[in-house]
Chains A and B, each alone.
Chain A
Amino acid sequence: MTPAQLADQAAALAHKATILAQNAAGFAAQAAAHAPHGAPLIDLFAIFVMAVFVGYYVIWSVTPALHSPLLAVTNAISSVIIVGAMLATGLKGGYAAHAFGFIAVLLASVNIVGGFLVTQRMLAMFKKKAK
């Protein structure tokens, strides 16, 4: 095999590889378009079910004396919904999405700051007997 033939074959091979890579990229793009989420629904659902169990045991261990702070702090943490609101506001998406996102950011912020601060205020009042 002459060096010229070898070069030709290598060029052909490279060309094929390029086409294959293009195809692969095309398939990957298609697959990405079909894949609804970063993680499949069943994975998220598994996390959810486990978290319900964690919640069950953690909440039963909360002392009844602190049930009011519990309500206030759960209010604050459930406002982690702000991450969805932030993405809606900050990513490219049109006026409607940005406006709705902004309102949600505002509402969730009231809750986060208000919820954590009022919990802190309540907890600061719980004192032991001075000896």
Chain B
Amino acid sequence: MNYATDPGITLAYLVAAVLFILALRGLSHPETARRGNLLGMAGMAIAALATLAHPAMLLSGVGLIVLGVVIGGAIGAVVARRVNMTALPQLVAAFHSLVGLAAVFVAASALNAPQSFGIGTPGHLHLESLIEMSLGLSIGAVTFTGAVIAFAKLQALMSGAPINFPGQHKLNLGLGILLVVLIIAFVASGGSQMLFWIIAALALALGVLLIIPIGGADMPVVISMLNSYSGWAAAGIGFTISNIALIVTGALVGSSGAILSYIMCKGMNRSIINVLLGGFGTDAAAAAGPAGAAGDKAVKIGSAEDASFIMSNASKVIIVPGYGMAVAQAQHAVREMSDLLKGAGVEVKYAIHPVAGRMPGHMNVLLAEAQVPYDEVFELEEINNEFSTADVVYVIGANDVTNPAAKTNAASPIYGMPILEVDKAKTVLFVKRSMASGYAGVDNELFFRDNTMMLFGDAKKMTEEIVQSLGK
């Protein structure tokens, strides 16, 4: 009997799918999120156990499955426990790649034993199953290598700089068309092994080619997009093996990644096409225009003592963290600083730009890790009106997201990007290692304003010095 027609097992898959929806629903608030996560785990357990209970399961097969789960689970547990919170984007990219690769292997397995899934016999698979299978296979393979490249860029195994070459987009387009042709040939062949692996190889190559032109700082979009791909790959496999848990989950994850990509692109005022074509942050410096004269203008340079004096005399301080804080691992020092300020009666809040960091929500997790209460942390729209009432803004490791040129200079590559309006505060303290521009290659005119004080140094060291000075 075809397993998909067993009502008991189908019901279990339905329950799992509902639990997954509730798991995502829980994430609407930090207080309900943990329970949601537990529901997700329960859903996964139900789906897995129902599958194991299938009457046609071979005993040897069950042994093999348990072995795989134990080995894989142990690796997953160790990694999840050990990973540094700063390295989360890499971890998520690595996980994306595994979903993609798993989809490729399930497709390969279904091609070799179609009777297990009731989709035909080897070499004579049903037409729609072949279409679904080749979609799952190619999206899975693109996800795999794409995520591996994203991982390598985030882990600094390769340069985060975009890799461009002449004719790049034409090549990708040509390969994309070739992929479609091959899929048609594969479907017409009734499931040729050779064509299957050629499609896999081509899709693997395409995954690499699609991600290399995208720069390191666009990784929040890439990670969200690969998240979406992994969902669609799962749904494709779900259709192939008629599994509703997989179809529903694939649809949920696919839309999740698509929405996150949209939010990230909106946060940079760029279209998804613009991000995907890549190359951002290389030639942008030339377009920056008048700001190139940075050397002529004077900036005010301050010390940690100056900063601590200014902040301890303030009544309201807003901290703006960016990727630089994550790189310097300065989040704990920042929290100590805000504790001392709060102890002295200063109101402290945090403002987070949607694209701060290397993945959506990255800064929130780092601040949470440093035990900053989540009700002190605000999103751009929530806090942007408050900068005018702040005495001091402490910008640590962020740059482009504060640049007023996004509103005033139509020639700037970041023009139109929503920014945190830190320039409205009485004093802006900028922690930076040097005068180098942000990843967009644009100078920040904020540095040269009268109410701005530059604090040159490593984000962590500078903040620790301020903490010492405040403690005196």
CB-based A-B contact count at 8 angstroms:
410
- From DSSP, what is the main secondary structure of chain B's interface residues? helix
**Which residue on A lies nearest to B95, using beta carbons?**
A75
Shortest CB distance B201–A (Å): 16
Complex CA gap A119/B41 in Å reads 11
Interface residues of A in 95-117 (CB under 8 A from B): 96-98, 100-117
A65-B364, A101-B109 given; A107·B98 CB < 8 A: yes
**Which residue on A lies nearest to B357, using beta carbons?**
A68
A106 & B91 in contact (Cβ 8 Å cutoff): no
Count of residues in B whose CB is under 8 Å from the partner chain: 129
A83 & B243 in contact (Cβ 8 Å cutoff): yes
B234 & A81 in contact (Cβ 8 Å cutoff): yes
Q: Is B259 an interface residue (CB 8 A)?
A: yes
In the bound complex, residues from chain B placing their C-beta under 8 Å from that of A86 are 48, 51-52, 65
A52-B255, A77-B253 given; A109·B68 CB < 8 A: yes
A117 & B77 in contact (Cβ 8 Å cutoff): yes
Residue from A73, A102, A104 in contact with B27 in the complex, judged by beta carbons closer than 8 Å: A73
A109 & B34 in contact (Cβ 8 Å cutoff): no
In the bound complex, residues from chain A placing their C-beta under 8 Å from that of B241 are 84, 87
B109 & A97 in contact (Cβ 8 Å cutoff): yes
Interface residues of B in 93-152 (CB under 8 A from A): 95-96, 98-99, 101-103, 105-106, 108-110, 112-113, 115-120, 126, 128-129
In the bound complex, residues from chain A placing their C-beta under 8 Å from that of B234 are 78, 80-81
Q: Is B207 an interface residue (CB 8 A)?
A: no
Q: Is B318 an interface residue (CB 8 A)?
A: no
Contact bitstring B367-399, A, C-beta under 8 A = 1, else 0? 011010111110100000000000000000000
Complex CA gap A108/B73 in Å reads 9
Shortest CB distance A109–B (Å): 3
B30 & A63 in contact (Cβ 8 Å cutoff): yes
In the bound complex, residues from chain A placing their C-beta under 8 Å from that of B25 are 58, 61
A92 & B116 in contact (Cβ 8 Å cutoff): yes
Q: Is A3 an interface residue (CB 8 A)?
A: no
A55 & B92 in contact (Cβ 8 Å cutoff): no
Complex CA gap A111/B376 in Å reads 32
Interface residues of B in 35-70 (CB under 8 A from A): 36-37, 40-41, 43-44, 47-48, 51-52, 54, 56-58, 61-62, 64-65, 67-70
Residue from B245, B354, B361, B371 in contact with A69 in the complex, judged by beta carbons closer than 8 Å: B361
In the bound complex, residues from chain A placing their C-beta under 8 Å from that of B444 are none
- From DSSP, what is the main secondary structure of chain A's interface residues? helix
In the bound complex, residues from chain B placing their C-beta under 8 Å from that of A74 are 24, 227, 231, 252-253, 256-257
Contact bitstring B307-324, A, C-beta under 8 A = 1, else 0? 000000000000000000
Count of residues in A whose CB is under 8 Å from the partner chain: 87
Interface residues of B in 380-436 (CB under 8 A from A): none
In the bound complex, residues from chain B placing their C-beta under 8 Å from that of A83 are 13, 47-48, 51, 243, 245-246
B235 & A48 in contact (Cβ 8 Å cutoff): yes
Shortest CB distance B79–A (Å): 5
A84 & B106 in contact (Cβ 8 Å cutoff): yes
Interface residues of A in 46-69 (CB under 8 A from B): 47-49, 51-52, 54-56, 58-69
A56-B259, A105-B69 given; A81·B106 CB < 8 A: yes
A47 & B248 in contact (Cβ 8 Å cutoff): yes
A64-B361, A108-B72, A110-B75 given; A75·B252 CB < 8 A: no
Q: Is B224 an interface residue (CB 8 A)?
A: yes
Contact bitstring A17-54, B, C-beta under 8 A = 1, else 0? 00000000000000010001111010011011101101
Interface residues of B in 1-39 (CB under 8 A from A): 2-6, 10, 13, 16-17, 20-21, 23-25, 27-31, 33-34, 36-37
Listed by A's residue number, 29 A-B pairs whose Cβ atoms lie within 8 Å are A38-B6, A44-B247, A47-B248, A48-B251, A51-B252, A66-B33, A67-B364, A68-B362, A69-B365, A71-B260, A74-B231, A77-B44, A77-B249, A80-B47, A84-B106, A84-B110, A84-B238, A86-B65, A90-B62, A93-B112, A98-B109, A102-B64, A105-B65, A109-B71, A111-B99, A119-B37, A120-B34, A123-B33, A128-B375
User: A residues touching B (Cβ–Cβ < 8 Å)?
Assistant: 32, 36-39, 41, 44-45, 47-49, 51-52, 54-56, 58-94, 96-98, 100-130
